Amino acid sequence: MSTSRFAYDDETFLLDGEPFRIVSGALHYFRVHPDQWADRIEMGRLLGLNTIETYVPWNAHSRAPGTFDATGGLDLGRFLDLVAAAGMHAIVRPGPYICAEWDGGGLPAWLLATPGVKVRTSEASYLRAADEYLSAALRIIAPRQIDRDGPVILLQVENEYGAYGEDAEYLRALVDIYRRNGITVPLTTVDQPGGDMLRRGGLPELLATGSFGSRVDERLRTLRAHQSNGPLMCSEFWCGWFDHWGGYHHVTDAAESADGLDRLLSAGASVNIYMLHGGTNFGLANGANDKGLYQPTVTSYDYDAPLDEAGRPTEKFWMFRDVIRRHEPVPALDDRELPAASFVVPESTPLSGAGSLEEVDPGLWSRHEHLPTMDDLGLVNGFLRYRVSLSGGDQPAILKFAEVRDRAWVSLDGVPVGVLSRTAGNHAIVLPRAHGRLEVLVEDEGRVNYGPRIGEVKGLIGPATVDGRSVLGWEATAVALESMPERALTGEDSPVPLRAGLVRSTFVLDAPGDLAIDTNELGWGVAWVNGFCLGRYRPNGPQRTLFVPEPVTSPGPNAVVLFAQEPPLSRVLTFRSYLDLGPIDD
């Protein structure tokens, strides 16, 4: 219970003492360009929602210990103010752990590398770091609670904790941090209504909510059996799913999802649709799953949601709106309020080289007797280069590592030898000879965001051997990824490099607009437009396009830069009139 303007009794939520049903949709500010936040919020209002929900990613706000960045695309305060300006309420889920198919589940790499730290427990060093982060986030959230005439009506404590641990002391420590930092609105937990997760993941004094996407009646009965009073709420109604590289594009039947939503509302339950609008894992923000097989999440977070990756209404939008209309008032909708149905398609333009990786990034090399990991070197994510001199014979030899996390391009004396891939399960390769300068470029494809492998280190994992003999005396340097766009746009054009390097192009627009870059023949790499990192692209799909938000484009010339780990199969940059997220698994 709570004494705030927003509270709940044995049956329902109460807004200023009157019964209130939450009809919410998830919208992650960190997956949407900030200049498009207002548009996506407005589309949620037009769907019939009265609330917008978001996670808060600790690792994005705190790239280093003792820091908290809330500027630009991380301006949580501005996002919540836009929700309020739209006349809507807000639910905030600060974690500290969020999962969300986000890199590391939102837990910072520097935290995971802290000696002795035990994440998601009441261990002292973890709680100190979590307290510092939450206090910074809550300084933004607390003044925007409904008790202070702001939009925030609920906060969630942790996230599906019952699937991970059973530490009531930890959960109570988080509650204390929330309350100590001025949070007066009700606090909730969320878990899947199955097994013992609801009990393990909650506290008697917190409102338990469920996360599910089907079997609605059964799930609500389970939730009510666990908690005999208080409003029923599905705070993650999964209306879609996420994709992994090398897999299929996941979709769910729109009519079945709409029926599930109707069952929830007919039962009098509150709901948060996950997702209203998924957005994009811009940069290197995607997470990964590992349940015995490592599966990195793709750049698109379309999620088969009511609004697609570009914020346009899908079939689910209209079906969900019809369902909501049967239970709650929905605003009138003028077709002129809807986003454009197609993308701007610029003329195809040639791709040219801008230098090999060695040419554009000489690196700041450090020496190590044994293989260092990315975490040893303080690298949060990205790419790490290794090199070592081999002094064996002329016969072919087997190079082997204990593990590769997550993809490694191997060359000898500047000549590519092959690729080692965690997803393929290989960690050994045949070298043409056992002498020469061995070089390895390693990509962190995304830190695990769910399950027991959260917190694992990245890079090459030793020992390293050649024909069973230890390889010692390594050098390593991080790839200066953030400076790649600037480096690529200096100097003369050159041939597209056949090894890792930079590729560039320029396209011309009459006016800004959303774009879809065709990645089908671009190979393997990371892309920028006008210095804004769109994210990763891959030849193994499922997605075959990269979404370019209108605010990063401009009239006239626009610069495209690719950090290509493998050379493009085409020498032309092309665009599509639609987003191609790949084949669907029937």
The catalytic residue positions are: 160, 236
Left (φ > 0), alpha (ψ -120 to 50) or beta: where does 23 sit? beta
Phi, psi dihedral angles at 303 (to 5 degrees):
65, 10
Q: List, as one string, the DSSP characters of 554-569.
A: -SEEEEEEEEEEE--S
Cα separations in angstroms, 31 against 37, 54, 405, 466, 506: 10, 10, 25, 43, 25
Q: Contact 567/497 with Cβ under 8 angstroms?
A: yes
Q: Contact 540/551 with Cβ under 8 angstroms?
A: no
Structure token pair of residue 551: 């605010």
Max CA separation in the chain (angstroms)? 83
Q: In terms of C-beta density within 10 A (0-12 exposed, 13-18 middle, 19 or more buried), how is residue 157 classed?
A: buried
CA distance 285 to 377: 19
Residue (of 546, 533, 535) closest to 574 by Cα position? 546
CA distance 142 to 237: 26
Q: What letter represents residue 359's amino acid?
A: E
**For the chain, what's the residue count?**
586
Instruction: Cis check for the bond before 96: say yes or no (omega within 30 of 0).
Output: yes
